[in-house]
Amino acid sequence: MPAILIAIVAILVVAPLVRIFVSTLTPDGLDAWRTVLASPLSNNLWWRPLLNTLLLGFGVATGCLLLGGFLAWLVVLTDVPARNFIGTLSTLPFMIPSFAGALAWGTLFRNDRLGGSPGFFQANGFAIPDWLAWGLAPTLIVLVAHYFSLAYTIIAAALSSVGADMIEAGQMAGARRSRIFFGIILPVVTPALIAASSLTFAGAVSNFAAPALLGLPVRMQTLSTRLFGMIETGQNERGFVLALLLIAVSATLLFFSDRLVSGRKAFTTVTGKGGRTKRFALGVWRWPLFALAAAIGMMTSVVPVLVLAASSFAPQSGALFSNWTLHFWVGEGGGEIAQGQAGLFRNPVLIDALFATLKLGIVVAMTTMVLGLCLAYTIVRHKGSLLANALSQLAFLPLLVPSIAFAAAYIALFGAPIGPFPSLYGTFALLVLAATAHNLPYAVQAGRSVLGQISADIEESARLTGASFLTRMIFIICPLAIRGLLAGAILVFVKMVRDLSLVVLLFTATSPVLSMVAYRYASEGFMQFANAITLVILVICLAASLLAHVLQNRVQKWKQ
């Protein structure tokens, strides 16, 4: 069993990365290295996209730390009103696809530089400068609005571990608030700040949707969009080189951030004495800061959804709240609206994409959780062994690889026949394999967290009675671990439904998914269709989360 698992993980994770590296060592691959790094084309192929990528990465990480850290401090360590309400609003943006924010931004701030229908503000008399409508600035704002909730979650968890006894000791010693913050609170949460900055940086540099929708129209390229362009135009070797360089950029930062955290002095904050959280009194600033936090939450989670909803009913972006029509949802084709295209639920392509997306999400969730459970079981039961360490490292390797680069690696491995096996490019099977491998770390982590709480004595007793491995897994391990497994499966399902970066290179006419169809419509100027599809994706994600909550309450009734 362990040998089989190592072979499976090696094929799913290691083989594509090795294959994409080997592909760049051929004569065409070596020529691609020279073209990308040391040729007259290098500035457009590598250096300028690298600069834009790094600016986005560091800008998003800084913005997320400031925004997420401020909200986490406000919710955890102050007496601000309605803390739960602010905390809920602060976690919602990460559930919304990043391309939803980009579409909402375009609906509001698009100007007439590129022709077509202007956005809401310009159509109503407001002059929108190019730098605000397109390029680096709007992309940065959209990505900060999307990823800051990830930073908030990490920092809030760290701040909640800061015991009241430490803060009160500082107050008794006469320390001012600034001294307490910089001398007590900040050192304790530094690992969380580093983790939040590295994760948001990695998310920003690998993000494809926002730079593509807001940057490509004005030729602002990042490594992810340049990689997509190379593969889409058939320049595979150059695309593979860019994929390896993108992996190197992301992995280097994650490596140094991990070394920075592991090399610093640790602080013990959770003891048997200090379980309380000290909240600072805001005084007259309670309600102004509440209003500011609520405005941030509404602008980053509620307003984009309302804009998308209004746009899906409005014939023109300049009149979002008048002359509404259901044509973009259920209208028949052949009329003057939308160049005669039928509405969302009358378009066979969109119906096929809806079912393909649901099918892909369910299948990937099942395959990922089954494989993740087997890996987690082996890692937990052989903890500390060479086998467990090897499996753990291999299973978490996809975290270092940006989604679009991982898709490029799968094209390199499975895009051509391998011996008697045919090419998988353009098939549903390739989407499932790539998605299963890329989401494996989340499944393994979910499995390890629940299996670590199940005593080995229970399984040992069953084994002594003659129960086989399969019997123990079905009747003992799975029922006890089902809550965590369902949570992990829903997480994988939601990621697949709203993910664009992974499927953008693997998408074909025979394997449509909603996120890619929405991107295509937005690229062609049909914003109402793109926004309507995005709303469908949001509804699916919210329904999946609700279903997970209901199932978790029902599958373990013995705990009630």
Q: Closest Cα partner for 23 from 470, 409, 359?
A: 409
Each residue's pLDDT, cut to its tens digit, for the chain (560 residues) gives: 677 888 898 999 999 999 999 999 999 999 999 999 999 999 999 999 999 999 999 999 999 999 999 999 899 888 899 988 999 889 888 878 888 999 999 999 998 887 777 889 998 889 999 999 999 999 999 999 999 998 998 888 888 766 555 665 665 666 666 666 656 666 667 888 888 888 899 889 989 999 999 998 888 999 999 999 999 888 999 999 999 999 988 888 877 776 665 554 544 444 444 445 667 788 898 999 999 999 999 999 999 999 999 999 988 877 888 888 888 898 887 766 767 788 888 888 888 899 999 999 999 999 998 898 888 888 887 777 887 888 888 888 888 888 999 999 999 998 888 878 888 888 888 999 999 999 988 888 777 777 766 667 777 777 777 777 778 777 777 777 776 677 778 888 988 888 888 888 887 766 688 998 898 888 888 888 999 999 999 999 888 877 766 665 555 444 44
d(CA 504, CA 208): 9
Beta bridge partners of 311: none
Q: Closest Cα partner for 514 from 491, 530, 494?
A: 530
Beta bridge partners of 277: 163
pLDDT value at position 199? 85
pLDDT value at position 542? 83
pLDDT value at position 172? 62
Query: What contacts 166, CB < 8 A, 6 or more positions away?
Result: 184, 188, 269, 274
pLDDT value at position 177? 63
| DSSP H or E stretch at residue 461 | helix 456-464
pLDDT value at position 307? 93
d(CA 126, CA 247): 41
- First-last CA distance in the chain: 36
pLDDT value at position 479? 74
Angle separating helix axes 348-381 and 440-451, nearest 10 degrees: 40
pTM for the whole structure: 0.86
What phi and psi values does residue 324 have, to the nearest 5 degrees? Answer: -65, 150
